Each structure stands twice: as structure tokens, then as C-alpha cells.
Copies of this chain bind each other. A is one copy, B any other.
Amino acid sequence: MNNNSKRNYYLDDIPLEEAIEKYFNALKKYFSKTPDELIEVTKANNRITSKPVFAKVSSPNFNLAAMDGISIDHKNTVGATETSPKTIKIKDFDWIDTGDPINDNHDAVIMIEDISKISNNEIKIFSSVSSMYNVREIGEDLIQSEMIIPENTKINHFDIGVCLAGGIKEIKVKKNINSKFIPTGNELINLGEQSTKGNLIEFNSYVINGLLNNIGVNTETSPIIKDNKELIKNEISNSIKKYDLVIVSAGSSAGSEDYTKEIISELGEVIVHGVSIKPGHPVILGKINDKPVIGLPGYPISAILINELIIKPLIEKKINHKIHNNNQIKAKLTRKLNSSIGEDEFVRASVGKINSEYIAVPLPGGAGVISSIQKANCLIKIPKNIEGFQKNEQINVLPLVDINDIDNTIICSGSHDLVLDLLKSFLLKKGLGYKMAINPIGSLGGLLAIDQNLCHFSGTHIFDPQTNQYNLPFINKFVKNNKVKTINLVDRIQGIIIPKTNPKNIKGIEDLNNPELVFVNRQKGSGTRILFDHLLEKSNINSQKINGYDNEKNSHLAVSYTIHSKNADLGLGIMSSAVAYDLDFIPLKEESFDLVIPETVLNEEYIQIILEIIRSSEFKKNIESIGGYNTNKTGEIIL
């Protein structure tokens, strides 16, 4: 950073609603026109009509036979009965198939089953029929000049069928908006380019353009542009001539290399800089030549939120057509959420349905963590006038996916193990539409969630030194409000994870007395942490003297990764996570990793499928191939 360059420290954040109002007012001229175009109706799926469509021809265009049989003038059938049938000669009838046009002199069809054939030229009929009997009349489906699609209608495949039936070949639709995405930043590289320290693969363009494609925007992306004001200015200036919308990625915060605001001011006008939402606040809303230019924050979650909250409504207003938005649903929050007064905060969440009540699990992760929105199926909005929500509070959540996907999301809260990932994979492989959200809140957290109906099932492994037993003493103690079944998922080996070839010659837990060694710990409430603290006590080691005792990770893999990255010398964890990073492992203890399942959901299809998976030999074979696991009790009910 060049510390001498001008900094825009103070963004005057304004509320979202105010920002949108101000911006849209400034874009009045832009919104006033929606150009249209004539396109082939067969290519019009998802396009929006700019004019009503009228049938050119009736459908059917002639009277048609609705049955196989003969056509006839109904007047010639008068008097025919079962007991005195009438003989009809070929000059007065035609053999006819379903869909055939009817002779102009005929107005009724008698089914083949209802006549008696004397010869090819003579038949008998046994009852009289009325005019239009078994006839599909002209215009039954569509009447010529009838309006078949109104203006401002989103076309689907049924509409296309109706247009074709009505003889329509081309229709007038609103032109698609086209947008240009300009990624800027010295740190950005293209996927596949050689990465050096501090490089980031540019992926925001794919995510944002993909979301825009979903709502009918044609998108393009410029090459990555370095942090050079003239280059960026040039690209913006050229793009605004050709595109309806220009998005400049990053360069919207107060960093010293952030030229976007300056450039928009020079070429046009900055209407808003800074909106009081989190994440996403340093957005720039500008216009050049009466077209919108948006400076998008660089963090992916910020960019996605600005797209949902500002760009999508802008597109809707431009094409004057509300894009389908999911309705909010009510859900019970599984933990307390704090937020600052003065800004709308948006938190990603996994939502599932337990005993016909929705529950929302907030996901961790900052604005830079794209995986947090990938794992989420809903957004929680904490409005700017409150300080957050309480645990168990009923709140509104906004679905990011279809409501059916939320209804089929199974929440597994508690301890995490690679075998749970395997279970999730097996469940998905079944292709039945079930999703599984693993919420790693530790064994104790999982038991409390079970007690309060805040998850579908839980994974747990807590050692009780008093009884020398796993899990059951804790289930009895913490799960009071639900009857549960406990089922062994797997037995696994806990031990000390160390670098390959054990360079510091670590032998056991006692080595932690050596203050030179850097330890990496697990979070409080996790079964591994409880085991570790128990082992320390047994070995008389003072935890406060351990270098790195406060360095907490939320998963076995994160512990292994820390050692693999040489940020720690040892940690406690399961063998499989050591294997994953090709680390060495000193076994300490075999433990039971059990699933706790409330009886209220035990007979649900998804639980039955999960149990079936767990008890299959294929699943056990897969577990064993990981290493460090014992499947002797897998699938057994623990009494």
C-alpha cells in the first residue's frame, strides 16, 4: 500500500430503503424505456411479452372428429333406435378417424363401436345424435383474434404451445438487459493461472453473472484489470456505451487503490456511497450517461447480498416485471444472534423442519467465506433497529432455495466426524431429494439441541471418567424433554496428531510440559476437548502452561491442517484426519461415536433411510477404507 494516497475513510452509510429510493429516483430516465424486439415464439421461453398476443387462426380451424367412426348430418339420424336401426348409405356418411376434418355437409360423428357395418358402403346406426355430437368444433381451443397472451407476461412452454396453435410465429418481447462485469485488483488471477503469494482466483464474476443469468440478464465479463485508474476508467467508459448495466467489482471500499468512486464521479455521478447493511456496506451506486454503474464490494457474500438487495430490484424496475421472490417463513432460532444497532445484518442459515416447526441454524463465516452461502438455504435479516435475536426466538427467514428443499433438509447438530460426511454422501447418492446440514457445535451442544428439538439427530462422543462409559451418562443428564434412541455410528481412535516422521520426537501427552511445543486445541464443549482435559488432569499437566491451549479449532480437519501448515507441532484428534493430511498419529483411546435420535422422528422416512445406510455393508466397507475406525458395533442400538 502506498500510504500517501488519498483514503476515503468515512463512508456516509445510509439505510438500504433510502439508498434504493435515492438511486432509483436518479435513474428515472433509465427506467422510462424498455426496448422490445420481435423473436421466434419457439425461442421465447422465460421472455416477457411487450405487447399482447392475439390468435391469428382458430384452433381447431375446422370441425374435427373427436372419435374414430363415421361422420354424418345429424338430421339423417333422426328416428334411429336400438329396436329400429337406420341404414345409411355411403353417400350420406364418411369413414373418419379422430382428428380428421369433417365434410362440410356433416355435423356429427358416431363412434365405430356404435355402428354395425353392413359393407364398406353401407352401415346401420342404432340411435339418433344431436348436432356437434363427437365433434371438436372450430375454435374449441382458441378463437381467431382472441387475446391469448397479455402484455408483460413471462412466457412458458404452455404459452408457446398456445401461440403455435394460434398460428403465431413471432412475438414481441422485452429486450434482455445486458450487463458488463469488470473485475479489478492486482491480487486477482484467472482460474488456472499460476498462483503466487497473495493471489486470489477471480470467481465473483461467475457467481454474480450466474445469478443475473437466472433472472434473464445477458452478462459479459471483461478481463481482470489491474489497480490502475486509467485502465479502469477506460474500461468503464467503453462499457457504458454498449451495456445497460456496468458492475465494477471491488474498488468500492475505502482502500487506497480504490478508484471506482473517483472514476464514476469524473464520468458521471456517484448517487450513494455506503449503505448501512452488513455485509455489503461499501457499495457505490453511480450513474454515467443515465445508466447504472455499481461498485460492488469484493467479498463474495457482500457482492451476493448487493446483487439480491439492490441489483435484482433494479432489473425488476427496468423490465417492469417482478421476479419471483420466495416468501419469508417463520423459524425458531437455535442460538443467540448479536448485531449492531444502525445496520441491517444478514446472516446465512441452514433451516430444516422438525416436528412441523422450522428451525434456523445460523452459520459462521465472514463476508469472505463463500462456502457459508453455499451451505446455507436461507438468510436471516437482523433489522437495524434491534440488537439481535434470542435463542428460541421465532424469526422471519428468507429462503435462498425452494421451500421443498428446506422441508427436506435434515439437521445434524453435535460433534463432527468424517463418517458423518460419508453418511451425507450416501444419503445424497440415493437421489431422493434429502439434504443433510451438519452443524458442528460439539457433543454437548448437540445433546442440548436434541433436548430442545433444535436438530433432527445428533452425533456425540463424550467420555465419562466416573463410569468409564461413553455418551449414555451425558444423554441421561442433558436430554430431559425428548425420548431418544442411541445408535452406534462408529468406534474411532483418538490420538496425538504430529507431523510426518515426528521431527520433535513426541511420545505422548506428557510432552505438553515442554513449552517449546506449540499445541492446537479443539473448542470447548467438543468431545475431543473434554477427553483432552481429562487426559491432562490424569497426567497432572497444567493447561494454562500449554503453548497454544487457547488456539481453538472447530474440527479435526482444521487441527490436522494447522499441523500440516506448520502452525502447530501437535494436536488431539482422530486418526482419519491425520491420514487426510499425510501426518503421523499416536493412538491414545478408542471411543464410541454415537447418533442420538429423538423418538418423534424415528419413523420418518429419512431416518429409516439413514439407518438402512448405516447398517449396509457398503457403508461399513467405506468407513474401514478410511482407516482409524472400527465398525463392529456400527448400526447397533446402544442400551
Contacts and interface: CB of A to CB of B under 8 A. Distances in A.
A243 interface: no
Nearest to A102: B198
B112 A203 contact: no
Contacts of A169: 191-192
Given A62-B198, A210-B45, A1 B143 contact: no
A200 B431 contact: no
B3 A120 contact: yes
B95 A3 contact: yes
Given A68-B255, A403-B403, A322 B431 contact: yes
A322 B152 contact: no
Interface stretch (A80-88, A155-163, A460-468, A595-603): A155-163
Contact of A57 (B185, B195, B430): B195
A322 B432 contact: yes
B120 A428 contact: no
A375 to B, nearest CB: 9
Nearest to A49: B428
B206 A144 contact: no
Interface string A459-487: 00000000000000000000000000000
A41 to B, nearest CB: 8
Number of copies of this chain that the complex holds:
2
Interface residues of A, number: 122
A131 B185 CA distance: 27
Contact of A157 (B99, B161, B210): B210
Contacts of A392: none
B253 A405 contact: no
Contact of A198 (B52, B101, B145, B164): B101
Nearest to A2: B95
B428 A369 contact: no
A206 B428 contact: no
Contacts of A207: 157-158, 160-161
Contacts of A405: 324
Contacts of A164: 191, 201, 203, 206
B140 A368 contact: yes
A211 to B, nearest CB: 5
Nearest to A203: B164
Nearest to A138: B565
Interface string A60-71: 111010101000
- Interface hub of A59, A156, A161, A403 (most chain B Cβ within 10 A): A161
A258 to B, nearest CB: 9
A99 to B, nearest CB: 6
Contacts of A565: 138-139
A179 to B, nearest CB: 15
Given A52-B425, A141-B370, A326 B404 contact: yes
Interface string A129-148: 00100001011111111111
Given A9-B112, A64-B198, A152 B428 contact: yes
A429 interface: yes
Contact of A141 (B145, B187, B368, B404): B368
Contacts of A4: 120
Contacts of A368: 60, 66, 136, 140-141
A101 B374 contact: no
A383 interface: no
Contact of A151 (B1, B140, B147, B428): B428
A369 B557 CA distance: 60
A403 to B, nearest CB: 7
Contacts of A504: none
A421 interface: yes
A139 to B, nearest CB: 6
A254 interface: yes
B161 A204 contact: yes
Nearest to A300: B161
Nearest to A142: B371
Interface in A95-142: 95-101, 112-113, 117, 120, 131, 136, 138-142
Interface in A1-52: 1-4, 7, 9, 42, 45, 52
Given A141-B371, A157-B207, 4 more contacts: A61-B199, A156-B210, A165-B370, A324-B402
21 contacts: A3-B95, A42-B206, A60-B368, A62-B197, A64-B198, A97-B256, A99-B185, A141-B370, A148-B374, A152-B428, A157-B206, A157-B210, A158-B304, A160-B207, A162-B371, A164-B201, A164-B206, A165-B300, A324-B404, A327-B407, A403-B403
The 9 lowest CB-CB distance pairs between A and B, nearest first, are A101-B198, A157-B210, A164-B203, A322-B433, A320-B431, A161-B207, A158-B374, A321-B431, A1-B95
Interface of A: 1-4, 7, 9, 42, 45, 52, 57-62, 64, 66, 68, 95-101, 112-113, 117, 120, 131, 136, 138-148, 150-153, 156-162, 164-165, 167, 169, 185, 187, 191-192, 195, 197-201, 203-204, 206-207, 210-211, 213-214, 253-257, 298, 300, 304, 316, 319-322, 324-327, 365-366, 368-374, 402-405, 407, 421, 424-425, 428-433, 551, 557-558, 561, 565, 580-581
